[in-house]
Structure 1
């Protein structure tokens, strides 16, 4: 982290109560800046600071909100406006996964995935544009390699993230002359509660165990996200070979990519 670049900045993080969002909050709290977290539950770090069990260089605020609700986003933005009139970085990090075969997925599961992964971050970004424009800020969305191509057993998840990519890319071009930046960040498998808190084809809680293969820690992902914000050329960021493979093969040989995905994820959709 280039600490000097973050000093005095105003940073908004969604989903800072766990996983990658919590790691971002932890890392950035070491810098004298203003951190505003938006999530349904209060982060442990905020509770510790409020009880004076810990002290950090950063000013940290928590605004409770269900970010799948436009009404709650509007309320959250009204509260945020009392804390600041400008935003330097918005980490649109909150999200939900959805696992099921397409022919076993109810439309309610698609709606839920889109409410959390697409409509929520898009509406929040729209509402915060005046704050971002004032500071010529950056917006980063936490996406997934599954957003780069339609992944088997992830149709609702992949499509909600892919749609988010398109909005961010459009906004990047349109608002570049106003000094705004839009970055799509696709982490690999990460040790979080994403799977256990995801949904199945009926829209019910997934409660699936964490991926047992090689994966990154939330801290490793957060560090890469911070470095990507620091890089003025960041647009679409992937962290590992599997992400690069999907990113390139979708254009070079989609038929080969589909064969690889079919073989690798066969058990997921059978």
Structure 2
């Protein structure tokens, strides 16, 4: 594999200051890309941009952008195009989650989850698409384990991830002949702050940390796999660290899977 496989390619990463987004920015910068980081953490944006320049000699652009805001997304994408001349890869990584039962989750929480996870990806992709078509680029979308296994007390989160699959599976077919690749990525449990900062039913942020029931992947390992997937222009990348037997159980015996495995995946102790 060439060390600078993405030399001078422009890579836009939403939610790029922490977790998988941060690891992706570092990995693509190592591959020679010019990086545009979109995030809402202003201090982190400035510091990370400087780190990319100092440690990797990477050309980087840091833009404050709440992806739930359509106008901010339009302005951010226009700024990237003005600065770098176009976009080769858009990585829709920004996302939030919650831990609350459907019955106790306020409508504002459902709306906020969809605004960030679904509409955030929709907004950025709409504004970047013409540039991606011109450059025969790629859209990479971070989905989730919940794409094939529902997680209890995550109804809004699960719904947002299923919506992403519906949108981007369709988009892939529409832009394939124009040279644009769309890759959906479904990581498993990953060591990020998203679960630590989950919303609860009233919309407040829970600082309670719930450990994962399976081995947890590092953001660096996930970013490496996504980088390789982008090189191969894959359409689907499943990185789940859930045991293969559990996935087979979900496919062949869904009721048994829902009874015994879903609570465990959701971090809920089963009552015997």
Under a length normalisation based on structure 1, what TM-score does the superposition of the two structures give?
Answer: 0.89
2:101 is matched with: 101
Q: Which moved more, 1:145-154 or 1:214-223?
A: 145-154
Distance 1:155 1:3, change over 3 A: same
* Per-residue CA distance 1:125-181 (angstroms, 9 max, x = gap): 011101110111111111110132432111111101110111010001111101111
Q: Where do 5+ consecutive residues of structure 1 fail to align?
A: none
How far apart, CA to CA, are the structure 1 residues paired with 2:126 and 2:187? 24
User: Given that residues 96 and 113 in structure 1 are in contact (C-alpha distance below 8 angstroms), is that contact kept between their aligned partners in structure 2?
Assistant: yes
Correspondence 1:252 to 2:252 = yes
Residue 211 of structure 1: SS of its match in structure 2? coil
Distance 1:250 1:171, change over 3 A: farther
1:219 is matched with: 220
Residue 67 of structure 1: SS of its match in structure 2? coil
Correspondence 1:46 to 2:11 = no
How far apart, CA to CA, are the structure 1 residues paired with 2:118 and 2:240? 24
Residue 82 of structure 1: SS of its match in structure 2? helix
Shift of 1:30: 2.3
Q: Which runs of 4+ in 1 moved over 4 A?
A: 243-251
Shift of 1:183: 1.0
Distance 1:268 1:78, change over 3 A: farther
Shift of 1:267: 2.5
* Per-residue CA distance 1:95-115 (angstroms, 9 max, x = gap): 001111111111111101000
Shift of 1:249: 4.9
Q: How many residues align?
A: 266
Distance 1:167 1:247, change over 3 A: farther
1:195 is matched with: 195
Correspondence 1:17 to 2:17 = yes
Distance 1:36 1:197, change over 3 A: same
Distance 1:90 1:248, change over 3 A: farther
Residue 267 of structure 1: SS of its match in structure 2? coil
User: Given that residues 100 and 201 in structure 1 are in contact (C-alpha distance below 8 angstroms), is that contact kept between their aligned partners in structure 2?
Assistant: yes
Shift of 1:260: 2.7
Shift of 1:34: 1.2
How far apart, CA to CA, are the structure 1 residues paired with 2:127 and 2:168? 15
